[in-house]
Amino acid sequence: MTMPASLIEEIIAIHFDPSAGSTYWLEQEKRLGLDAKKEITCCEAFHLFGPMDTEALRTRPLLDFIPKRFHDELPSMILAESGGTTGAPIRRVYRPMEFAAAFVDSWERTATARNFPRRGNWLFVGPSGPHVIGQSARAMARSLGSLEPFSVDCDVRWIKRQAPGSLGFSLYLDHVLDQAMNVIRAQNIEVLLITPPLLLALADRMTAEERERIHGIHLAGMALTVADSETIRHQLFPQAVVLPGYGNSLLGVLFEHTPPASGQPPTYVLDDPALWLQLVDFQEDKPTAADLATTLKPGQRGRVVAHRLDASFLLLNMVERDTACYAVPTNGEGCRAVTAVEPIRPLVSTKSEGVY
C-alpha cells in the first residue's frame, strides 16, 4: 500500500487546474512537457517530476504553491516552517483539517492505544513560531484532555550556529534547562515533549523523585538512537510511556505504535493516507528522476524521499536528510512503517543538529 489512487487523482486535479491551480506546479508541468492529470495517476509516476526544488520552496512567494482556488481561505490556514538544518527555511501552509491529519489525529489514536497519560500537565521544550511543532504541541495536549503545555522556547536556528561544547552552545543550553527546571519544580509536570538530547541533559538536573513524576514522554525533533532509547525507557524514566515520533514541519509525523524489543530501533507507522515515505537506493545529495523510480524492499536501507498530497500544498519527491529501512510488513501494512532512521552523515553534521 502506498497512496489511494482516488486521493492522487483528486489532489493532482486541484494543483494542475489551468485556471485555479498552483502557479509553481503548472510551471513545472509545462517545463517538463507533462500532462499531470493523465500521467500522474499513481505513486510510481511521481518520479517524472524529478526531485522537489527546495530552493524554489526557500525563495519563491508562498502563494505560488497554494492553488488559486484556496487563496480566499488564507486567514484560516496554518503557516509552518522547517527548522533550517539543511539550509534556509522552507515554508508551507496547512488547512485546519490537513494540520489535524498531519500532526494530531494519528497522535491521538496512538496515544490512546499506548495508554499515554491523559489530563496531566505537559512541559514542551522546543521551538514555538514559526515552527509548527509549537502549535501541534498545544493541539496534542488538548486532544488528551490536558491544558496546553507549559513551554520553554528554543531558537533552534541560533543553537545550530553554535559548535557543541562552545561557550555559546553551553550558555544557551544552560538557559533552556534552567527555564525547564523552573517549570518542573513549580508545577506538577507529568508529560514531557522534548528532543532526546535535551531530555538526557534535563534528566541530569532532575532528582529521582522528579523523574518518577513523569508518566509520559513524547520525543520529537531528532532521530532516536537505540542507545538513547534504552537509556530513557529503562534507566531514567522506566515508569513513563515513551512515545517517539518521526517527521517534520513540512510533512507531519509518524508515531511508534509498539515499543521496540531490547536492542532494536523504534519503528514508526504511517497511517496518514496523504503521506508516503519512499526509500530509494542512493546516498548522494542530488538524485535524478531515475533514482526516484525504484522503491526498496523491506530490510534494505535507503534514502527517505517524502511525498505529501494536500489540497492546499503539494510536495512531491522531497529528498530528506535521513536513511531508513521499511519494517517487515505485518497486518497488511506493506511499506507503511519505517525503522532504523538515521541522519545522513556528513550531509548533516553534529554541529547542524545540535540539540534540536
Pairing state of beta strands 216-219 and 150-153? unpaired
Share of the chain above pLDDT 70, in %: 93
15-19 contacts at long range (C-beta below 8 A, 24 or more positions apart):
15/67, 15/314, 17/67, 17/69, 19/68
The residue to which cell 505504535 is assigned: 257
Work out the burial of residue 335: count CB atoms within 10 Å of its CB; fewer than 13 is exposed, 13-18 middle, 19 or more buried: buried
pLDDT band for 157, please (50, 70, 90 cuts).
confident
Q: Higher confidence at residue 20 or residue 130?
A: 20
The pLDDT, as a whole number, for residue 352 is: 42
Q: Kindly state the average pLDDT of the residues 152-180.
A: 87
pLDDT band for 12, please (50, 70, 90 cuts).
very high
The answer to whether 144 and 215 are in contact (CB under 8 A) is: no
Beta partners for 92? 80
Cα separation of 85 and 330, whole Å? 34
Q: Higher confidence at residue 155 or residue 92?
A: 92
How many other C-beta atoms lie within 10 A of the C-beta of residue 19? 7
State how far Cα 92 lies from the chain centre: 13
Domains of the chain: 5-89+272-342 (no CATH), 98-269 (3.40.50.12780)
pLDDT band for 61, please (50, 70, 90 cuts).
very high
The residue type found at 60 is R
Least confident of 55-59, 113-117, 328-332: 328-332
Please tell me which of 1-5, 120-124, 318-322 the model is most confident about, judged by mean pLDDT.
120-124
pLDDT at residue 17 above 70?
yes
Beta partners for 216? 191, 241
pLDDT at residue 331 above 90?
no
Query: What single-letter DSSP state applies at residue 275?
Result: E
Q: What pTM value is reported for the model?
A: 0.92
Q: Which of 8, 6, 1 is nearest to 45 (CA)?
A: 8
pLDDT at residue 334 above 60?
no
The pLDDT, as a whole number, for residue 184 is: 98
The answer to whether 335 and 2 are in contact (CB under 8 A) is: yes
How many other C-beta atoms lie within 10 A of the C-beta of residue 106? 23
pLDDT at residue 76 above 80?
yes
pLDDT at residue 188 above 90?
yes
Cα separation of 242 and 232, whole Å? 8
Q: Which of 246, 243, 253, 245 is nearest to 308 (CA)?
A: 253
pLDDT at residue 347 above 70?
no
Q: Kindly state the average pLDDT of the residues 57-79.
A: 97
Cα separation of 184 and 134, whole Å? 19
The pLDDT, as a whole number, for residue 84 is: 67
Q: Kindly state the average pLDDT of the residues 126-143.
A: 91
pLDDT band for 283, please (50, 70, 90 cuts).
low
The pLDDT, as a whole number, for residue 351 is: 45
117 Cβ neighbours under 8 A, 6+ residues apart = 144, 190, 191, 215, 216, 241
pLDDT band for 328, please (50, 70, 90 cuts).
confident
pLDDT at residue 302 above 90?
yes
The answer to whether 67 and 14 are in contact (CB under 8 A) is: yes
